[in-house]
A and B are shown apart, each in its own frame.
Chain A
Amino acid sequence: MFKQKPKNPPLKVSLIGMSEKALQLFAMFLDGPVRGSCKVVDDGSHEAVIIDLDGVESPRLWLDMRRKFQGPVIVLSVTEKNLNHAFWVSKPVKDDVFLGAVTKVREALKNPPKQVAPSQEPSPRSGVGSAMQSPSAPKIETRPQPTEAVAESKTNTSPAAQLMSEEMDERSQNCCGQLEDAAYRSGDPSALFFDPNVTLLGVFRDAMRLTREGGIAKIERPGAHPIFVSAGRKFTSTPMPEAYLRAVCARNISDSPLSVNLIEIEPKDIGVSEDPRLRRLDNMLWKISLWSSRGRVPHGTSLSAPVRLRRWPNIPRLMTVPHGMRIAALWVTQPSGLLDTAQKLEIPYRFVFAFYCACQSFDLTEQLTASSPEPAIASGATAQPANQEKRGLFGRLLKKLGFG
């Protein structure tokens, strides 16, 4: 049965970023389960845009679209997107979630925002994320900008910088906490250190240890979503969405402990995580480490001892940590203390601390002491640090590749 037709006239939309086949399928979707909600137009009279952001060229596509259109956008993607004036609908697209986004677009058209608002934490149970501040939405505090580079990108008119800034804000907000640099300079141990054993991270690591040789562990708390883990079989699965998991990571579990038990069940009988972002074991451990750390490091970590990276994390398949690539490169080529790293790279401390915690979960790091042996292997190249001219070239090349 099709849904009841909405009372409003169809929203005039333009479709972007879809192949011919996808266009046909989406037209069938608009003409079927959500009939009457939207009407595709190609004469420039659209009130909103629906864009698929899962293609290789999607950043460029987004920027091209934004140059021409400033109105509300429905973003279709398998990964959560929090972009200004946009409503994320997770793929595969469900009719009720899509209709919810259309309703939000209509509200946005009635109440156009006067200024760009910071991204808003999505509801853990909602499939629609919104970065647009509506009149009914709770007010969001404007976060102080941590570095000059980021502050500039906020006011920079470059669309590429704006997009990167939006994405970076979302990533840093979610993955590295919100500790200000002043907290790190003051060295307050209650702010900078945490005990992994009272977070999901400690429990998850226990489950990994238990299943190193095989078997499946089930992490659970009565009444909550379980997490299944098998380190030996490189398997993880959970019915909870990513935003919910993130909230679990932020909790102190000492008041309501989680249990870890080995269970007799096959991965195929458990099935894969409903949320496609929670299907890889390595990325799950990485994310849980970052979200449990929130810019802190485990008790006992030295803030000054040089950190050496034994090997690189598999960065393309892990959630992005702002400046993670630079931190990794520094720790391979010039082992540096945690505080020193942030100062050398001129980046917020919380990125360094969170990245360290995640790397430590994979046993990729070691803190050097005066008695530490020299590494058996060199960092790779013996190339000299680039001179100013080459730094300029590298910066332009990175910008070209979409990293700056």
Chain B
Amino acid sequence: MAQHKIIFAGPVGAGKTTAIKSLSDIPVLTTDEEATDMTKNRKPQTTVAMDYGLLKLDGGERVHLYGTPGQERFDFMWDILTEGGLGLVLMLDNTRTNPFQDMSFYVNAFREFIENTQLVIGVTRMDENPLPGLDRYHAHVASLGFNVPVFEVDAREKRDVSLLVQALLYSIDPGVKTNE
């Protein structure tokens, strides 16, 4: 049976684990550990290996949801994780000191994968911190060479995360038909 995967990336605390939990049909397998480095200032627990969730489709097909660890020291895993992926959902936290630096880091780290698939960006915690606005995110991702969906999202809301995935799929092929 065909297996597919979608990758969720982003800095610590941006909502990758929560987003996967919002979509997954199974309890999310997560490898959170007590943070011992600088990340503990943002989250008492953080993902040190990866998160894993699963979407079971009609006919037995499966879409695996992988969340990359937020810490850069685990970037050796990213190439393995992305192999065969449908695309990248990049989660960014609007309360971080410099979310654009985060965007640059992840877009450049996954550039080859994105260029062969597709990227969508979800900006979280805009209710806590409305600035910078989405216009600045669009401008920054344009400076990196991409015109991709950038949405304000709440990772706890299934609808928001689903819309990110919907945008990812339609960006690859707007011709996909549903009963919408």
Residues of B within 8 A of A152 (CB): 179
Quick one: closest B residue to A56, CB to CB? B158
Residues of B within 8 A of A312 (CB): 138, 147-151, 167
**Which of A204-212, A251-259, A293-301, A325-333 is the interface stretch?**
A325-333
**Which of B31-39, B53-61, B70-78 is the interface stretch?**
B53-61
CB atoms of B151 and A315 under 8 A apart: yes
Contacts A325-B166, A329-B167, A380-B146: A149 and B160 contacting too (C-beta < 8 A)? no
CB atoms of A391 and B117 under 8 A apart: no
**12 additional contacts, CB 8 Å, given A149-B180, A377-B147, A395-B178?**
A156-B179, A312-B149, A315-B149, A316-B151, A378-B145, A380-B114, A381-B171, A382-B115, A385-B172, A393-B61, A397-B63, A397-B165
CB atoms of A317 and B152 under 8 A apart: yes
Interface residue B108 (Cβ < 8 Å from any Cβ of A) = no
CB atoms of A316 and B147 under 8 A apart: no
CB atoms of A379 and B147 under 8 A apart: yes
Name which of A164, A330, A383, A386 has the most chain B CB atoms within 10 A of its CB. A383
CB atoms of B118 and A311 under 8 A apart: no
CB atoms of B180 and A383 under 8 A apart: no
CB atoms of A377 and B174 under 8 A apart: no
Which residue of B134, B153, B167, B173 contacts A390 across the interface (Cβ within 8 Å)? B173
Give A329 to B153 CA distance when docked, in angstroms: 19
Minimum Cβ distance to chain A for residue B136 (Å):
11
Quick one: closest B residue to A399, CB to CB? B178
| Total A-B residue contacts, Cβ distance less than 8 Å | 169
Interface residue A396 (Cβ < 8 Å from any Cβ of B) = yes
CB atoms of B165 and A401 under 8 A apart: yes
Give A156 to B61 CA distance when docked, in angstroms: 23
Residues of A within 8 A of B166 (CB): 325, 398, 401, 403
Q: Which are the 4 A-B pairs with shortest beta-carbon distances? A: A404-B178, A329-B170, A329-B174, A330-B174
Contacts A396-B59, A400-B55: A385 and B148 contacting too (C-beta < 8 A)? no
Which residues of B are interface residues toward A (Cβ below 8 A)?
2, 4, 22-23, 55-59, 61, 63, 87, 114-119, 130, 134, 138, 142, 145-153, 156-160, 162-163, 165-167, 169-180
Residues of B within 8 A of A328 (CB): 149, 167, 170
Residues of A within 8 A of B138 (CB): 311-312
Contacts A164-B179, A311-B147: A396 and B57 contacting too (C-beta < 8 A)? yes
Q: Interface residues of B: mostly helix, strand, loop or mixed?
A: mixed
CB atoms of A316 and B169 under 8 A apart: no
- CB-defined interface of A302-341 with B at 8 Å, one 1/0 digit per residue? 0000000111101111000011011111101110000000
Minimum Cβ distance to chain A for residue B107 (Å):
11
Quick one: closest A residue to B172, CB to CB? A383
Residues of A within 8 A of B173 (CB): 385-386, 390-391, 394
Residues of A within 8 A of B178 (CB): 149, 395, 398-399, 403-404
Contacts A329-B170, A329-B174, A385-B172: A165 and B159 contacting too (C-beta < 8 A)? no
CB atoms of B180 and A404 under 8 A apart: yes
CB atoms of A56 and B157 under 8 A apart: yes
Quick one: closest A residue to B63, CB to CB? A397
CB atoms of B151 and A381 under 8 A apart: no
Quick one: closest A residue to B161, CB to CB? A401
Residues of A within 8 A of B118 (CB): 380-381, 383
In A201-259, which residues have CB < 8 Å from any B CB? 234
